[in-house]
């Protein structure tokens, strides 16, 4: 297998799940991560045996932004709860209590650190202070990623920090290739990519979807020669649909190894070596 090293850098818009401009937080116990994208990427790397060649990095400002968005969602829903509880306070023997203060920020910090540790994520620090004049110049010149052409307005200070962070980070890793996984199309700009190449002597690949990332890695590492890759590319919606069909029509499945309840399923290793299969005539 190809021994090239890649680092996949994640943006906020692929790390979290969003509806409109709001973060979707289904359970405040955890740091909200988009399982379809992030866990799908992690599982893909594991199943393709690429964890030795590819690592995940996230700019510090991305982690801070995701954590801030979730903290803001928590505080907003707590306020809504208090308003609803106030409607019942006049009822006798009816109590709904909400803590006056809950240190959710500390809780979320712990969950963030656990997330980083669990998946061995490398955190990309903020750019050094001497980059600030460069950022100011870009603001004044309305350069990307500060300037959003579609909106015809100055914006994107966070994006500019991400960009400078990535460049400073890549400068220190000359033997590594980089993928920036983001849904922000402003980064896929010829001037920005040329700047990255000039400073780092590397080409940065901008990817907007998990399918694009998988395709690139498939081509780079020739995963198509490994039938495990077929299993990984199974669309999750199809998998769920097939599972429902099995559950609705079969309570048990009998094989030569015994009888099993239909609880879950996967594509087994038996497809890895189809040359051993012989057709009976």
Q: Which residues contact 185 (CB under 8 A, 6 or more apart)?
A: 208
Question: Do 257 and 156 fall into the same domain?
Answer: no
**What's the Cα-to-Cα distance from 101 to each of 97, 104, 226, rounded to whole Å?**
12, 9, 54
Answer whether residue 281 is part of any domain.
Answer: no
End position of a domain, from candidates 196, 213, 229:
229
Answer whether residue 217 is part of any domain.
Answer: yes
Per-residue pLDDT, averaged over 199-206, amounts to 93
Question: Do 194 and 253 fall into the same domain?
Answer: no
Question: Do 119 and 246 fall into the same domain?
Answer: no
| Lowest-pLDDT range of 123-127, 130-134, 151-155, 211-215 | 151-155
For all residues of the chain together, what is the average pLDDT?
A: 80
Question: Do 256 and 221 fall into the same domain?
Answer: no
For the purposes of burial, counting CB atoms within 10 Å of the CB of 128, is it exposed (0-12), middle (13-18) or buried (19 or more)?
exposed
List 18's β-bridge partners, or say none: 23
Q: Which residues contact 211 (CB under 8 A, 6 or more apart)?
A: none
Q: How many CB atoms lie within 10 A of CB 151?
A: 9
Question: Do 192 and 254 fall into the same domain?
Answer: no
Beta-sheet strands, E only, within 42-193: 54-59, 122-124, 147-148, 153-154, 177-181
Question: Do 92 and 206 fall into the same domain?
Answer: yes
Q: Helix or strand or coil: residue 217?
A: helix
Per-residue pLDDT, averaged over 53-79, amounts to 92
Question: Do 77 and 116 fall into the same domain?
Answer: yes
Is residue 79 within 8 Å of residue 29, measured between CB atoms? no
Question: Do 215 and 241 fall into the same domain?
Answer: no
Question: Do 136 and 241 fall into the same domain?
Answer: no
pLDDT at position 197 is 94
Is residue 240 within 8 Å of residue 247, measured between CB atoms? no
- pTM equals 0.72
CA 205 to chain centre: 16
Full residue range of the structural domain in which residue 166 is found: 6-229
Question: Do 66 and 176 fall into the same domain?
Answer: yes
Q: Helix or strand or coil: residue 27?
A: coil
Question: Do 145 and 239 fall into the same domain?
Answer: no
Answer whether residue 74 is part of any domain.
Answer: yes
Answer whether residue 36 is part of any domain.
Answer: yes
Which of 106-120, 151-165, 229-243 has the highest mean predicted lDDT (pLDDT)?
106-120
Our count of domains for the chain comes to 2
List 171's β-bridge partners, or say none: none
pLDDT at position 52 is 82
Answer whether residue 202 is part of any domain.
Answer: yes
Question: Do 248 and 219 fall into the same domain?
Answer: no
């Amino acid at each position: 297998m190809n021994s090239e090293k890649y680092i996949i850098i994640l943006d906020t818009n692929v790390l979290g799940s969003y509806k409109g401009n709001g973060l979707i937080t289904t359970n405040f116990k955890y740091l909200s991560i988009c399982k379809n994208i992030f866990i799908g990427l992690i599982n893909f790397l594991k199943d393709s045996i690429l964890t030795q060649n590819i690592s995940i990095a996230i700019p510090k400002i991305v982690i801070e932004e995701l954590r801030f968005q979730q903290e803001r969602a928590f505080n907003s829903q707590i306020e809504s709860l208090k308003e609803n509880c106030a409607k019942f306070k006049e009822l006798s023997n009816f109590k709904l209590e909400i803590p006056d203060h809950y240190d959710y920020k500390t809780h979320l910090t712990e969950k963030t650190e656990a997330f980083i540790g669990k998946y061995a994520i490398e955190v990309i620090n903020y750019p050094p202070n001497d980059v600030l004049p460069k950022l100011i110049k870009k603001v004044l010149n309305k350069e990307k990623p500060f300037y959003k052409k579609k909106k015809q307005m100055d914006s994107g200070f966070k994006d500019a920090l991400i960009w400078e962070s990535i460049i400073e980070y890549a400068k220190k890793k000359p033997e590594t290739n980089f993928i920036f996984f983001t849904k922000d199309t402003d980064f896929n700009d010829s001037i920005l990519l040329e700047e990255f190449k000039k400073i780092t002597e590397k080409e940065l690949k901008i990817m907007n979807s998990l399918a694009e990332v998988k395709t690139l890695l498939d081509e780079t590492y020739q995963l198509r020669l490994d039938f495990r890759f077929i299993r990984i590319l199974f669309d999750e919606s199809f998998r769920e649909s097939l599972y429902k069909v099995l559950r609705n029509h079969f309570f048990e499945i009998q094989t030569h190894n015994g009888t099993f309840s239909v609880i879950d399923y996967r594509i087994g290793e038996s497809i890895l070596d189809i040359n051993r299969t012989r057709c009976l005539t």
